[in-house]
Amino acid sequence: MDRSDVADYKSLMRITRIRVVCGLSLLLLSCGRSVADHRDRGLMPMPAKIEFAAASLQVDGHLPIMIVGHSDARLQRAIDQFLQHLTAYTGQEFPHGVADTPDQAKLVIRCAGPGQLVQTPDEDESYSLRVTAEQIQLNAATVVGVLRGLATLEQLVQPGGNGFVIPEVSIEDKPRFVWRGLLIDVCRHWQPMAVIQRNLDAMAAVKLNVLHLHLTEDQGFRVESRRFPRLHEHGSDGKYFTQEQLRKIVAYARDRGIRVVPEFDMPGHTTSWLVGHPELAAAPGPYRIERRWGVFDPCFDPTREALYEFLDAFFSEMTAIFPDPYMHIGGDEVNGKQWEANPQIQAFLKRESLPDLHALQAYFNRRVAAILNKHGKTMVGWDEILHEGLPQGCVVQSWRGSESLAQAIERGFDGILSSGFYLDHQRPASFHYLNELQPTGGSPSDTRPARILGGEACMWGEYVTPETIDSRIWPRLAAIAERLWSPASIKDVDDMYRRLEQVGHALDAIGARHRTNRGRMLHRLAGRHPIGALQVLAAVVEPVKFYKRSAARPYTNHTPLNRLVDAARPESQVARRFQLEVRGFLSGRSADASRAIRRRLKSWRDNHQALMSAIRDAPLLEEVAPVSRNLQLIATLGLQAMDTIESDQQPGADWKAGVLAAIENAAGPHAEVDIAVIATVKTLVESVGSAKP
């Protein structure tokens, strides 16, 4: 157990105590929504309507199931997976027992019909769930509704009774938004099948319903094309999904009620296409797969008819693999340099009376939209596709800000919000959680604003490998999933974090690797040394935010991502707890809070010595020495602040200014990480000299 686990264990014990007290009051009081907080193991997204009651159903491995109404192979597979998850949560076997009558059944599933043959955003995902001490009843109109209900049921399983129980509860649930997605960029860094599959499992657990696969980029063409094999043969370094694998992903996702929307980014971000097909480009080749990050010049030539013939044949091939009614053409970040420099393209602009390069991109988009339409697809693109003449029916995905979403909606297009949901920005879960999908102002309502289909989190691939990607997606994506599924009124940040912690553990149990891979990364860094001291440091640092990492050194997709910054979590939970403790201390000055704060500060202060022995032996840790030293300094200053506050001293203004300057100086960043507890130590110092409450 590491030190943060000790803290986790203590807070768990506190929660357990609260649970016991609540449990006793439950026996005395009739129950309602107010007790929901303490009777769920970590429900996320929170159902639209939920009412807990006092009893519990014992979950003991014997769960005979009866299906009433529609049943099919997908539903049976969903039940098998549900039982496997119960085994993962409880550590006991759950054989697939079938009951012949409702009386014998512990779980009765009533499913009215199969739902759509090809899932669309209109699929009915609603369900109702009733758990009593004797039986679970799950009702839904479609198999997808059953899937959503089973996902909720899994999250209700918790320690109790003789082992595990599901609390008595009544739930009516449906999503607020119909498009709840995750984009995975498999191009900047290749992400193989196992990554996609385990993330689909985790997505289903939090009721997400769209996997947006970013399949082509400057750095890689990740799809097998039998029609144009030079695309993947020359554009992928051999790292691409075969058509069989893509079909498998689509089927795997469908089993989980998740649509797969493929993105083929064009006319920019297309270097990897041009390696094998330079004739598509607006400037002569040859082209090589791009290894760096950024926005590059290579671009399709939209003035050539042969390009549209090529795309028609390519989309025809992809349509046979991806049944989803939507296809994404990217359309972002065309820098126009090749178009400006090409005299034939300039002549085309004059001939067609196109006033500028944006109008040329608009021309390209209209042509592509028509091709996709012919293949039965609705075109989706990033903000940049919004322009005069964009055919009605296209969908705009907004990444540059909610104003562009508002503009798209004003012009009659459906929109998807990704601005504020960029996971690669490494922002806290609370930031994403409070990113309301209400671009036109006004207070959010629990119904979906017109024309906003929903939102998508984006996991761009510059700084993630198969080893680290889960830690950038989870558990923060669960908070986004709640924003997209649950009523707008559910937005209590502290309660979100309470549940997020539990959801993080549950996702780990069903195969996500956001927690497990970190341990092995720290062991790799520490070499023959124990990882304890490194864990203490890793628990309080965060990777630098936004795109600051790219400024720190020249990255390519060959640069190893195996350093402390890669093992650090985007949001330090230790820092968050420390902040809450300090806030509590400053408002009440309790002795308990003081002890907890001092314990943490001392552990950070004393960590440096232990860590230095590992640092001396491990080349990859060399860069970490100043971070560790700065943590030591900051902790020492924090302890001084505590001493000063608790002895009610009034040091001169110089003391405070000097300490704050020293902290600022220690803020770094070094090694591309920020010390996440700095702001809270500053708060402590700033409060020195203020009156005791």
Work out how close the CB of 330 gets to ligand ACM at its nearest, in angstroms, rounded to a whole number: 7
- Tokens for 55? 């009893």
What is the contact mask toward ligand ACM in residues 98 to 127, using x (rule: CB under 6 A)? Answer: ------------------------------
Q: For 52-61, b where at least 16 C-beta lie within 10 A, e where not — what string?
A: bbbebbebee
From CA 44, how far away is CA 500, in angstroms rounded? 7
Can you tell me the distance from the alpha carbon of 326 to that of 92, in angstroms, rounded to the nearest whole number? 42
Tokens matching residue 458:
């984006």
What percent of the residues of the chain are helix, what percent strand, and what percent coil, each to the nearest 5?
45, 15, 40
Task: Give the 3-state DSSP-derived string for 363-399, with helices as H, strands as E and coil as C.
Answer: HHHHHHHHHHHHCCCEEEEEHHHCCCCCCCCCEEEEC
In contact, 549 and 629? CB cutoff 8 Å: no
For residues 267 and 331, give the distance between their C-alpha atoms in angstroms, rounded to a whole number: 6
In contact, 475 and 514? CB cutoff 8 Å: yes
Q: Which is nearer to ligand ACM, 295 or 552 (CB)?
A: 295
Q: Minimum CB separation from ligand ACM for residue 379, in Å?
A: 15
Which of residues 98 and 295 has its CB atom nearest to ligand ACM in the complex?
Answer: 295
User: d(Cα 588, Cα 590) in Å, to the nearest integer?
Assistant: 6
Beta bridge partners of 127: 140, 173
* 528: Cβ contacts below 8 Å, ≥ 6 apart: 617
Interatomic CA distance for residues 539 and 516, integer angstroms: 14
Query: Whole-number minimum distance, CB 83 to ligand ACM, in Å?
Result: 40
Site map (CB under 6 A) of ligand ACM, residues 336-375, x = contact: ----------------------------------------
Catalytic residue among 51, 317, 333, 501: 333
Please identify, using beta-carbon distances, which residue of 89 and 382 lies nearer to ligand ACM: 382
Q: Which is nearer to ligand ACM, 317 or 333 (CB)?
A: 333
Rounded to a whole number of angstroms, the minimum distance from the CB of residue 295 to ligand ACM is 8
Which residues touch 377 (CB under 8 Å, ≥6 apart)? 315, 319, 325, 326, 327
- Whether 462 is catalytic is no
Beta pairing partners, 606? none
Q: Using DSSP, state whether 475 is helix, strand or coil.
A: coil
The mark string for 389-428 relative to ligand ACM (x by CB under 6 A, - otherwise) is ----------x-----------------------------
End-to-end CA distance of the chain: 37
Distance CA 214, CA 328 (A): 9
Q: With respect to ligand ACM, which residue has the nearer C-beta, 378 or 404?
A: 404
Torsion sign (Cα): 364, 334, 431, 256: positive
Q: What are phi and psi of 217, to 5 degrees?
A: -155, 175
Largest CA distance in the chain: 83
Q: Which residue has the tokens 């559910």?
A: 490
Residue number, 332 or 566, with CB nearest to ligand ACM: 332
Q: Which CB sits closer to ligand ACM, 51 or 333? A: 333
Least distance to ligand ACM, CB of residue 332, Å: 4
Of 395 and 512, the one with the shorter C-beta distance to ligand ACM is 395
The smaller minimum CB distance to ligand ACM, of residues 85 and 269, is found at: 269
CB of 293 to ligand ACM, least distance (A): 12
Using CB under 6 A, count the residues that bind ligand ACM.
Answer: 4
- Nearest CA to 52 out of 160, 142, 129 is that of 129
- Is residue 382 part of the contact set for ligand ACM (CB under 6 A)? yes
Task: Please report how close the Cβ of residue 370 comes to ligand ACM at its closest, in angstroms.
Answer: 23
To ligand ACM, the closest distance from the beta carbon of 359 in angstroms equals 21
* Nearest C-alpha neighbor of 184 from the set 290, 263, 291: 263
Tokens standing for residue 677: 């507890």
> DSSP per residue over 628-672, as a string?
HHHHHHHHHHHHHHHHHHHTT----HHHHHHHHHHHHHHT--BTT
Q: How far is the CB of 563 from ligand ACM (least distance, A)?
A: 25
Task: Give the SS3 label for residue 670.
Answer: strand
- Closest CB to ligand ACM among residues 431, 655: 431
Nearer to ligand ACM, 45 or 381 (CB): 381
Residue number with the smallest Cβ distance to ligand ACM? 332
Task: Tell me how far, at minimum, the Cβ of 152 lies from ligand ACM, in Å.
Answer: 32
Q: Residue from 224, 301, 332, 542 that binds ligand ACM (CB under 6 A)?
A: 332
> Number of helices (H) and strands (E), helices first, in the chain?
27, 18
Q: Give the x-and-dash track for 291-330 against ligand ACM (CB under 6 A).
A: ----------------------------------------
Long-range contacts (CB closer than 8 Å, 24 or more residues apart) made by 681-684: 681/634, 681/635, 681/637, 681/638, 681/641, 683/579, 683/582, 683/583, 683/586, 684/582, 684/586, 684/597, 684/638, 684/641, 684/642, 684/645
State both tokens at 182: 């995750």
Closest contact distance (angstroms) between CB of 340 and ligand ACM is 21
Lookup result for tokens 């693109």:
381
Residue pair 579/680 in contact (Cβ under 8 Å)? The answer is yes
- Please give the residue ranges that form the binding site for ligand ACM (CB under 6 A): 332-333, 382, 399
Q: Which active-site residues does the annotation give?
A: 333
